[in-house]
Amino acid sequence: MNVQQLKVFLKAAASRTISDAAEELGLKQPTVTFHLKKLEDTLGVELFRKRSGRLRLSEAGEDLLPYARKIAAMMDEAQRLMSEYRDQGRGKLRLGASYTPATYFLPAYLAEFQMKFPLTLPLLTVKQASDVLAMLHRYEVDVAVVSLPDGPYPELHVIKLADDGLKLVLPPRHRLAGRQNVAVSDLADEPFLVHEAGSTSRELAEHWARENGLRWNVRMELGAVETIKEAVKHGMGIGLLPGRSVLREAADGDLAVRELPGKVRPRTISLVYRKEDSLASQASRFIAFMRAKLDV
């Protein structure tokens, strides 16, 4: 017994003649007869009786009818569900992001992606970039959006989406806030508020200080961009923060934001995924969506 035989049985029960059932199904009459005969042979019972050229259900056929309807309905539902996975993006998108992209870059794109694919459920994990890349290698996420310095990543596809360089961030009343250009030498005695060890921002900040010969005075280590911003506003020190994280404060005059002086290692927000032949369909859709939106 298969689904095609049950569907032919249901149509024959409703049409009452072989020719009508064949026309409804778009099949030839011998094909309909073949399916009905195979179903009867499989079940070992007679399902129809012919009378005056018309089909009448036998007692066994009458009892089979509700089961056939239920099975056919369940198969239709299963096919609809699978088509949602195939064509409409149903399923989970396992996504990792580092803090700056997750907070200041990704939300607008995720909102538009969900409008386009409402059946996709994003599962977003936010950690330091190094931790997110480790999750990617361990197959715990399928795609990542992270802030990364330039560098080789031999086992990963890295697609640059947007610049995300560090900026010098000062309290509005700081002695250097009135200057558009700040020199490295101006920062020699300044207290710095820095990211916790292990973050991309901390790595780049330390690289910048070494490259420019600055022996900086670290007043405090903090674990969150928003905490550093508030501490800078209250005059506790100066910070090196991703430019995207301080756009609003710079526009409102709550912070003075300047270009980082000296030699600066570039950093970009990048879309990252494993180099392998196949990805989950939800991840493939998200990658294609982001590339189209940012023309990369």
pLDDT tens column, 23-67: 888 888 888 888 888 888 888 999 888 776 688 888 898 889 888
Q: Which of 82-86, 139-143, 289-293 shows the lowest mean pLDDT across its residues?
A: 82-86
pLDDT at 155: 86
Same domain, 117 and 253: no
Structural domains of the chain, count: 3
What pLDDT does residue 109 have? 96
Are both 11 and 44 inside the same structural domain? yes
Could you tell me if 177 and 251 lie in one domain? yes
For residue 158, what is the domain's CATH number?
3.40.190.10
Q: 3-class DSSP state for residue 177? A: coil
Return all residues near 109 (Cβ < 8 A) that are at least 6 apart: 289, 290, 293
Clarify whether residues 150 and 286 are in a common domain. yes
201's enclosing H/E stretch is: helix 200-211
Query: Do 93 and 282 contact (CB within 8 A), yes or no?
Result: yes
What is the residue type of 239?
A: G
Is residue 124 very low, low, confident or very high in pLDDT (cuts 50, 70, 90)? Answer: very high
Count of alpha carbons within 13 angstroms of residue 63, beta-carbon side: 6
Same domain flag for 151 and 186:
no
Planar angle of CA 166, 247, 287, nearest 5 degrees: 75
Domain boundary among 87, 114, 139: 87
**100 is in which domain, residue-wise?**
91-163+268-294
Residue with tokens 């330091």, as numbered in its chain: 128
- Contacts of residue 240, defined as CB under 8 A and 6 or more positions apart, other chains included, come to 166, 167, 168, 169, 192, 194, 201, 204, 205, 208, 260
Per-residue tokens: 187: 């920062």
Residues 77 and 116 in one domain: no
Using DSSP, state whether 269 is helix, strand or coil.
strand
Residue 79's pLDDT is 72
157 and 282 co-located in one domain: yes
- Measure the CA–CA gap between 168 and 243, rounded to whole angstroms: 9
Share of the chain above pLDDT 90, in %: 47
- pLDDT tens column, 212-266: 999 888 889 998 899 999 999 999 999 999 999 999 999 999 999 999 999 998 8
CATH number, domain with residue 12: 1.10.10.10
Residue 184 and residue 258 share a domain: yes
Co-location of 288 and 150 in the same domain: yes
Among 87, 113, 139, residue at a domain's last position: 87
Same domain flag for 220 and 253? yes
Q: Which of 67, 87, 107 is the last residue of a domain?
A: 87
| Integer Cα distance of 261 and 34 in angstroms | 83
**Shared domain check, 153 and 186:** no
Residue indicated by tokens 């820095």: 194
* C-alpha separations of 111 from 28, 38, 79, 116, 172 in Å: 50, 52, 28, 9, 34
Residue 247 in tokens: 């756009």
Q: How confident is the model at residue 1 (pLDDT cuts 50, 70, 90)?
A: confident
Same domain? For 261 and 289 the reply is: no
What single DSSP character describes residue 27? Answer: -
